[in-house]
Amino acid sequence: MTDVEILELTNKVLAEEFELSPNQMKPEASFREDLELDSLDAVDMVVVLEQTFKIKIKKDEAFKSIRTLGDLHAFILAKKEEMGD
C-alpha cells in the first residue's frame, strides 16, 4: 500500500466511523474542535485503525499527543514504516 493509499484509507474509515463528510477531512482539522470528537471517540478511533491496518496503537504514548488529522496521518505512516510495510 502506498502512502497516499494509506492516508485515503485512514480518511475513509474515520469518515465512516464518525459520520464525517469528505470536505471535513483536512490535515489541519483538529479532532476536538473541528471534528468534534471526544475521548470516547478516541478509544473507537484506536479500535478502527488497529483493525484496518493490523497495527497496535492502544498503549503507544505517541498517539496521545495527536491533535489533528495531519498528526494522525504522520503517526500511521510512521507506524506502518516501523512495521516494515
| In the complex, least distance from residue 2 CB atom to another protein, rounded to whole angstroms | 27
Would you say 31 and 39 are in contact if contact means Cβ atoms under 8 Å apart? Answer: no
Where does this chain bind another protein (CB under 8 A)? 18-19, 36, 38, 40-41, 43-44, 47, 50-51
Residues belonging to the active site: 38
Cell numbers representing residue 26 in the block: 483536512
| In the complex, least distance from residue 69 CB atom to another protein, rounded to whole angstroms | 18
Would you say 20 and 11 are in contact if contact means Cβ atoms under 8 Å apart? Answer: no
CA–CA separation, 26 and 24 (whole Å) = 6
CB closer to another protein out of 8 and 50: 50
